[in-house]
Amino acid sequence: QLQLVESGGGLVQPGGSLRLSCEASGSPLNNYAIGWFRQAPGKEREGVSCIASRGFFAKYADSVKGRFAISGDTTKNTVYLQMNSLKPDDTAVYYCAANWSPGQIVCEVDSLARYEHWGQGTQVTVSS
């Protein structure tokens, strides 16, 4: 059974950076698309970014394009989300999730239901 654990969240000033990690155990990640989602207080969970199981395709929400970058390290079975130029609106609990999709060259974050496995989340707070 695939398990996901997020880490790397914290308190950062506007304009700062954080790198979130999503470490998997129980199964290699190379057959899964990995998505990052976030949920701010009082708001619905939304997709932020994803990386396809083949690892060459990534997608970003318009709100984070040019600021966030997703990457994977198969040797560590971990996916990262590098977040730069952070804004107060980026404050949320960030979750990673996995969608079983072997051989897929694309990924989507339009639907939470695509993703079968979820981590517990890590809090990101952007405030001065």
Q: What is the pLDDT of residues 46-86, one digit of tens each?
A: 999 999 987 789 999 999 999 999 999 999 999 999 999 99
Rounded Cα distance, 109 and 122, in Å = 18
- Answer whether 22's CB lies under 8 Å from 4's CB: yes
Q: Where are the alpha helices (DSSP H) in 17-114?
A: none
Asked whether the predicted pLDDT for residue 6 surpasses 80, the reply is yes
Rounded Cα distance, 122 and 22, in Å = 10
> How high is the pLDDT of residue 30?
87
